[in-house]
Amino acid sequence: MRSKSEMINMLIHFARNDERIRLVTLEGSLTNKNIVGDSFQDYDISYFVTDMDSFKENDSWLDIFGKRIMMQKPEDMVLFPPELGNWFSYLILFEDENKVDLTLIPINEVEDYFSTSDGLVEVLLDKDSLIKNPVIPSDQKYWIKEPTAREFDDCCNEFWMVSTYVVKGLARGEILFAIDHLHEIARPNLLRMMSWKIGSECGFTFSLGKNDKFINHYLPEDDWEALLSTYNQNSTQNMWKALFTCYDLFRKYSKEVAEALSFTYPEYDAAITKYTLGHRDRNLGPVDQG
């Protein structure tokens, strides 16, 4: 596997010798000093170019970067509509297992690029001195954000209301409906509440990573194991268990956030829990939750 320095030097060297490429940036985790690097990190590279069409008409120019196992061009797909406007990207997995996500951007969109950046950007090459001020990568946009009282209430409201959709799906025997609502809406709000609790204890000056991937570093072991258990959704019985475990965790963390930040915990928890127990017992019969 080629090293990070080999990959970066190769990508810069190509750009330096191609007059169409005027500016090169690196984005993502490779610019983040708070992330421990490993061999799975992508090289998120942007080439700012004067002639998009000359690159897009033929993919052979990519061969110089190495033998490809697979490549995807999202902006050239029909099933999944493009999302990058005038930009064009190549997601490439190479034979040596390095992965490059290379994006072509029209040179006249430099200002738009930096104005919408998430902050994790490093300038690798600037042939025309387009960047006037130093660019220092920062993950600040991903830091845990301290909630307002309204945001706290909205999170509680969404969690408990959407939980009733999980109940409906399980009561009807529509387990995929129930799974989607738990996984896509209810649990993410549990994770949000957990992150607020962590922030209230440790400060709102750091990130838990994409998909909350570092949250286990801050949770008690019992709570981490309980959270993981809610991903066991392969039967109706396990779904009921997952839902009630989410209830227990959400109740615990939201009450702790409410106490730490002087918010009011909503009373409808008790009513929704009673509602859920009634439908669970009619669906499965009384179950020992211990």
Tens-binned pLDDT, residue by residue, of the chain (290 aa) = 999 999 999 999 999 999 999 999 999 889 888 888 888 889 999 999 999 999 999 999 999 999 999 999 999 988 887 778 889 999 999 999 999 999 999 999 999 999 889 899 999 999 999 998 889 999 899 999 999 999 999 999 999 999 999 999 999 999 999 999 999 999 999 999 999 999 999 999 999 998 999 999 999 999 999 999 999 999 999 999 999 999 999 999 999 999 999 999 999 999 999 999 999 988 886 554 44
| Residue 132 shares a structural domain with residue 149 | no
**Is residue 290 situated within a structural domain?**
no
CATH number at residue 253: 1.20.120.330
Angstrom distance (rounded) from CA 87 to CA 38: 28
Q: How many domains does the chain have?
A: 2
136, with CB counted inside 10 A (0-12, 13-18, 19+), is exposed
For position 278, what pLDDT does the model report? 93
Same domain, 202 and 112: no
Question: How many angstroms separate the CA atoms of 262 and 126, rounded?
Answer: 49
Task: Compute how many other C-beta atoms are within 10 angstroms of the C-beta atom of residue 83.
Answer: 9
Q: What is the pTM of this model?
A: 0.86
Question: Of the residues 141, 162, 186, which one is the last residue of a structural domain?
Answer: 141
Q: Are residues 136 and 149 in the same domain?
A: no
Does 160 share its domain with 135?
no
121 plus 180 within the same structural domain: no
**128 shares a domain with 208:** no
Q: What is the CATH number of the domain that holds 30?
A: 3.30.460.10
User: 100 is in which domain, residue-wise?
Assistant: 4-141
> If we measure between CA atoms, which residue out of 230, 233, 193 comes closest to residue 215?
193
167 and 121 both lie in a single domain: no
Last residue of a domain, one of 118, 141, 164: 141
99 strand-pairing partners: 93
Same domain? 89 vs 170? no
Domain-ending residue, one of 121, 141, 161: 141
Domain identity same for 203 and 252: yes
Q: Are residues 137 and 49 in the same domain?
A: yes
